[in-house]
Amino acid sequence: MSSRRRFLQRALAIGAGFLRAPELIAQSTQPGVGRVNKNHQPCDFDSAKVVHTPDVPDLPFTLDNGTKVFHLTAEPLKQQIAPNKSLILWGFNGSAPGPTIQVNQGDHVRVILENHLPEPTSMHWHGFEIPNDVDGGPGVSQSPIKPGERYVYDFTLHQAGTFFYHSHMAMQEMMGMLGAFIMHPKESYRPAVDKDFVILLQEYAVLPNNVVPNSMNMEFNWLTMNGKVGPAITPLIVRLGDRVRIRLINLGMDHHPIHLHGHTFQVTGTEGGRIPESAWYPGNTVLVGVAQARDIEFVANNPGSWMLHCHLPHHMMNQMSSNVGVMTRLPRGNMPTGVSMENGMGMLTGEPGVPAGDDYGPSLGRGMGVGSTNDQPTSNGPAGGQKAMADMPGMQRMQMSNESGNIAPNADSVPGFPQDAYMEGPMMAMDEMVDKPENYGLPAGWSGFMQGMMTFVRVLTPDRYDEVLRRIRQDEKQSMPSMPGMDVHGRKH
């Protein structure tokens, strides 16, 4: 994909104006509403003095008598989470998660929050040891901020570590209102790292053919890292031998066991700050609970493109939902599609009193599943391979026929089939659609196996590292001429 198109997509993703009515969510095609994503600025890519939040902008500040002044706007926005897949979320400054804030320990900080949502909000500074009146507890430490109003949060920060900010309205959290707040220590951590990344973990429950998360639904089917789902998440690029820190932040309804291939890391920090070195502990999977942050550090001493992902199987999938439609398949032949809710969803019908009648009791409910005479070897695949392919425009659609050897000739007679055959693999690949410099050199078809909360740590040998960086810088240079003048808030003049 051309860098210009990527830039336009970015601009699309972050364009949002003051909300007067839901239909007024700005979807400007003007590149002018864009803002600089510092992560692709070559000048500081190699600097460990800042953290990088791939796919998420940094929040600039102004200085007022030594106070760092930040501006945040809570607003609806359109966020592209994958090719041809955008959601309407609520976030900050056109991004969900909101822009990353970086300050130094001891800084005096002022954050001016404008509420451009159609309802009250309040900002909580998660883990900050600050005065009660700026804690953001709505109705307790402050009045909720009404639509169109602003609230000034003013505090001096004596802590250091990986912190975050979020709306303290629970359902607004589930619409995306989270951002990283990094406090750099007065004295640098030892040992120093060469690369320092932030990954924010979020999840959305989006019903089929909808673009707005259903915040009451418990079935989360879009799992994001920094507002993108695999394979659209930007991999972390490191040089062989680099010491790497990854700061993981989770706010949602699920805990995420984040697993790194090929390396053993040390857990060096929590949402409460740095862990003393004597208490670091090794692992390759770290459980990042809801409302927690975990810092992990490792020496990238093993070359290759290593998966970094949540290990919950459903969190390694996109659009994983039993609500999608007919997903039942009999050993021989397919279930018909387009039938009623009762029949199509595999629900029991008839007399007497289904599904709670005496005839049906033994096969339903917890602890009652033995002795049933109704058991059938149904499975959870889509209606059929042909239909699955037809429903996925843009995929590389590798032949999934018997001749390709991907599907066994007797597949349809094997109970349980299909599991992954039509859900991940070569036919789900979209390498072209997610092409970017950071993906340079990955094997063809890679994108068919990376969904949901999955990305890479790419540990590159010096020559490959230099080549990827050259491409990132070239890409950025091409984007630059189309950048309009922006003020310090990243807004167009």
* Site for Cu ion, rule CB under 5 A: 256, 310, 312, 315
Min separation Cβ 150 and Cu ion, Å:
35
| Coil vs helix vs strand at 133 | helix
**CA separation (Å) from 412 to 126, 166, 225, 442?**
51, 48, 36, 33
Q: Which is nearer to Cu ion, 137 or 313 (CB)?
A: 313
Nearest to 384 by CA among 392, 395, 396, 376: 392
Min separation Cβ 452 and Cu ion, Å:
8
Q: Which is nearer to Cu ion, 228 or 256 (CB)?
A: 256
| Coil vs helix vs strand at 266 | strand
Min separation Cβ 252 and Cu ion, Å:
9
Q: Which is nearer to Cu ion, 101 or 310 (CB)?
A: 310
Min separation Cβ 369 and Cu ion, Å:
27
Q: Which is nearer to Cu ion, 287 or 348 (CB)?
A: 287
Q: Which is nearer to Cu ion, 125 or 222 (CB)?
A: 222
Q: Assess contact for 74 and 92: CB atoms under 8 A.
A: yes
Min separation Cβ 254 and Cu ion, Å:
5
**What's the CA dihedral at 3, 4, 8, 13 to 10 degrees?**
10
Min separation Cβ 416 and Cu ion, Å:
24
Instruction: List the beta bridge partners of residue 145.
Output: 121
Q: Which is nearer to Cu ion, 101 or 454 (CB)?
A: 454
What CA–CA distance (Å, rounded) separates 418 from 381?
Answer: 5
Q: Which is nearer to Cu ion, 122 or 224 (CB)?
A: 224
Instruction: Tell me how crowded residue 431 is: count the other CB atoms within 10 A of its CB.
Output: 16
Contacts of residue 137, Cβ cutoff 8 Å, sequence gap at least 6: 122, 124, 168
Nearest to 179 by CA among 269, 57, 41: 57
Q: Which is nearer to Cu ion, 153 or 306 (CB)?
A: 306
What CA–CA distance (Å, rounded) separates 83 from 176?
Answer: 19
**CA separation (Å) from 264 to 255, 261, 312?**
21, 8, 19
What CA–CA distance (Å, rounded) separates 456 from 445?
Answer: 15
Nearest to 123 by CA among 183, 54, 70: 70
Alpha-carbon dihedral sign for residues 464, 476, 249, 70 = positive
Min separation Cβ 5 and Cu ion, Å:
31
Min separation Cβ 223 and Cu ion, Å:
6
Q: Which is nearer to Cu ion, 126 or 256 (CB)?
A: 256
Min separation Cβ 203 and Cu ion, Å:
7
What CA–CA distance (Å, rounded) separates 19 from 33?
Answer: 16
